[in-house]
Amino acid sequence: MSVTREFELAHCGVLLIDETGTELRRIARAGELQEAAYSILPLDGPGVIALAARTGNPMYLPDVSADLDYVPGSLETRSEFVVPLRAGNKTIGALDLQSRELNIFDDRTRRIITAFAEHAALALENTQLLASLEMSRQMAEDANRLKSEFLANTSHELRTPLTGIIGSLSMVLDNLCDSPEEEREFARIAYTASQRLLAIINDVLDIAKIEAGHMDVRLQAVDLNVLFKDVRALSRVQAEDKKLALEFRPPNISPFVIWADPDKLRQVLLNLIGNAIKFTEHGGVTVAAQLVDGDNGEKKIRIEVRDTGIGIALEKQSTLFQPFVQVDGSMTRRYGGTGLGLSISRRLTELMGGALTLFSAGEGQGATFIVTLPALSQAEMERR
């Protein structure tokens, strides 16, 4: 604003190079030429603004109509002066000045504006650094809070089955049971609780191995129809206990062979199906597979795990697969679990050369998790 008043300009804009280094984004403007107020400009695109930011050299067009580098913005602009904003040896953006007058920027004016741009660049860089430091501080605080919450939830999850095991075995060992049937029931409770405890410990160990780069996968040809039968047998009881429909739609090709680690893929599918059942109260879960074309024309297998459950809020979807970050304390307290399953599943899928993504229209809209892995043709099967 002060620059437009001082030099009676029609437009002044400040554009900064974004964090990717590919675009100029307008952060401030003043003046009357609304059409000249670009919001985003590609750094490698045409025009004197991009050229000045790209080369680090001031660009002056005394008559824009006579210059081939000019990209029309406002029909009222007659002359334009663009000064790169440089902090040290780094160009961080550009200061764009336009006027309705021809050749309005004389040598003195350009020197004054260039000096102003140098001070402005330093101030803007300091502002960016402070904003970056504040963001880093906030992220660190959030990470510490979420890890503390994760540890608290995991401690609770560990104590719950351990208490059940100790209590049930104490009843048996202290001869407090009234009948052999009651002893067997307490033994069954202890066994179930021990299985739950083992699953929690395995999750923690798996994420530790993955983060340390020590998780091994053994890729081989896997018949998906056979794997689906195993997974269905292991997850059927959980669905029946909640009176939910559990439908498998295997590919209608046999054998339907993919390249994966069968144990890791089974773990991924069991986790996704278990989560779907856990977060679904009515309706059911559907697991379907089909052959699709990849980006480069290669064949891939797409496995979808769809549920009619509580859905996922849009603002939480971008961080859902990150370890610790995705842990929602209220959610884990309500439904149980460490919150590490999805992070583990995505990393295992990536180790097998695939991808794990999700789609949910929002809360109350259900969710679909999609596993994509390489498929094997008959020729590839024979070669391998």
Q: Which of 55, 78, 105 is the last residue of a domain?
A: 105
CATH number at residue 98: 3.30.450.40
Confidence band, pLDDT 50/70/90 cuts, at residue 227: very high
Q: What is the pLDDT of residue 327?
A: 42
Domain count, the chain: 3
Residues 367 and 229 in one domain: yes
Q: Which residues contact 80 (CB under 8 A, 6 or more apart)?
A: 48, 59, 60, 61, 64, 70, 96, 97, 98, 99
Residues 87 and 36 in one domain: yes
Predicted confidence (pLDDT) per residue in 318-339, tens digit? 778 876 554 455 555 555 566 6
Q: Is residue 291 part of a domain?
A: yes
Predicted confidence (pLDDT) per residue in 45-66, tens digit? 888 888 888 888 898 988 988 8
Rounded to two decimals, the pTM is: 0.58
Residues 291 and 252 in one domain: yes
Q: How many residues does the chain have?
A: 384
Q: Is residue 158 part of a domain?
A: yes
Residues 342 and 308 in one domain: yes
Q: Is residue 334 part of a domain?
A: yes
**What residue type is 314 in one-letter code?**
L
Which structural domain, as residue segments, surrounds residue 34? Answer: 2-105
Residues 352 and 295 in one domain: yes
Q: Is residue 127 part of a domain?
A: no
Residues 247 and 314 in one domain: yes
Q: Which of 212, 247, 276 is the last residue of a domain?
A: 212
Residues 285 and 355 in one domain: yes
3-class state of residue 16 by DSSP? strand
Residues 208 and 225 in one domain: no
Per the model's pLDDT, the better-predicted residue between 42 and 371 turns out to be 371
**How is residue 339 annotated by DSSP?**
S
Q: What is the pLDDT of residue 263?
A: 92
**What residue type is 31 in one-letter code?**
G
Residues 163 and 54 in one domain: no
Predicted confidence (pLDDT) per residue in 126-140, tens digit? 777 777 777 777 877
Residues 232 and 339 in one domain: yes
